[in-house]
Structures are given as structure tokens and as C-alpha cells.
Amino acid sequence: MDTIQLVVMGCGGVGKSALTIQYVQQHFVENYDPTIEDSYRRQTTVEGKQYMLEILDTAGTEQFKAMRDLYMKNGQGFLLLYSVIAQSSFNEIDDIHSQIVRVKDRDDVPMVLVGNKCDLEDQRVIATSTGIETAKKFGCAFYETSAKTRMNVEEAFAEVVRRVAGTKGGKKASKSKSGGISTSQKKRCTLF
């Protein structure tokens, strides 16, 4: 079975740990130590093939830039998280994206842009269209998720795995699913 290394990145408090734990252990953590950086394993099947995922939930606690560069070098697929209720977390995304592209030294790194906490619709400050535009600019996929309700959690991880697998097989990473938030998903989100 192939192993795929995924890295979950984004500002403190955006829900990196909650999203990772929801994906791996199927429950929502209200309070998770923000300084814990850990990696998780989960098996998954994408397009009929099994993969072992090793998911690094980053915490921004690395003392040296070199450590950050190292996990970016080792990472094969990236989830770039912001919170739809925190403008500052969205402002950081450009920097994180450029750092990944610089370290990987290629601009087709398998990546998914994720706007998390979309269950908190009444507190939203980042419009869905803003997320879609940014994902288009990066040439990556886009999902709005909720680590709380589990909305789009499986979908976001599956998409990044598909992109890594596509690259591995020598095929061009599929971009057909980029910006892939449908109106129905959006509607489902506003229900909460």
C-alpha cells in the first residue's frame, strides 16, 4: 500500500487539529492544546486504490524555519486552512502558499484550500466567492468545511489524496474539480 504524507497548515485557532481529528477519529474536539503538533494515520480508498495517509497537524511551534521547510519538503499534499470567521487567518494564506511553492520548487503542488468553521454562518467574514477566487489563483481545489458538523471533511481530504495520487501516477493533477463548492453544499452549510 502506498503511503501519502499530508500536511495541515494555517493560523492558530483555524481548526487544524479539530479537522484532522474529525477526519481520523470521527469526533469533534472543543478544546485541543494549541501547541501540540502531532501526526495521525488513516487508511483510505480513493478511486479504488488503498492508501495509508500520514497526516501532520502542524502547530507553528517549530523553533527553526528549517524545521518548517523540512516538513514542507516531505509533505506530498497540503491542506491550507483558514477560518471563515477570522479575516487574519485568511490574510496568512498567501504567505503559506508562497512558502510551500518556494520550498517544493514547483507550482503544481497538490493542495486544497479549506475555509473551515462554516457552521458559524452568522459570524462569517470571508465570503465563499473570496475562497473560490483565491483557489483559482492558486490553481487548487476549494472546500468550505466544518470540523464540528463534519461537512465536507471527507471530501477535502479525499480531494488532496486524489491530487497526490494523480501526480504520482505521472498523470497531470486533475484541476477539473477545483473551486468545487456547489450551491447545494453552500446551502447545506447555511443550515447550521
Sheet containing 38-46: order of strands: 38-46, 49-57, 2-10, 77-83, 111-116, 141-144
Among 76, 128, 134, 146, binds ligand GDP (CB under 6 A): 146
Tell me the CA distances in angstroms from 137 to 115, 166, 179, one per residue in order: 15, 20, 10
**Interaction residues for Mg ion, span 46-85 (CB under 5 A):** none
Q: Does 17 participate in binding Mg ion (rule CB under 5 A)?
A: yes
Nearer to ligand GDP by Cβ, of 2 and 127: the residue is 127
Q: Does 40 participate in binding ligand GDP (rule CB under 6 A)?
A: no
Q: Does 123 participate in binding ligand GDP (rule CB under 6 A)?
A: no
Q: Does 148 participate in binding ligand GDP (rule CB under 6 A)?
A: yes
Among 9, 18, 53, 112, binds ligand GDP (CB under 6 A): 18
CA–CA separation, 107 and 48 (whole Å):
28
The interface partner of residue 6, options being ligand GDP, Mg ion, none and the CB cut-off 5 to 8 Å by kind, is none
Task: State the nearest-atom distance from the C-beta of 57 to Mg ion, in Å.
Answer: 6
Report the b/e string of 116-140 with b at 16+ CB within 10 A: bbbbeeeebebebeebbebbeebeb
Among 92, 119, 144, 159, binds ligand GDP (CB under 6 A): 119
CA–CA separation, 167 and 78 (whole Å):
13
* Residue in 125, 44, 48 with CA at minimum distance from that of residue 77: 44
Q: Does 92 participate in binding ligand GDP (rule CB under 6 A)?
A: no
Q: Which chain residues interact with Mg ion by CB under 5 A?
A: 16-17
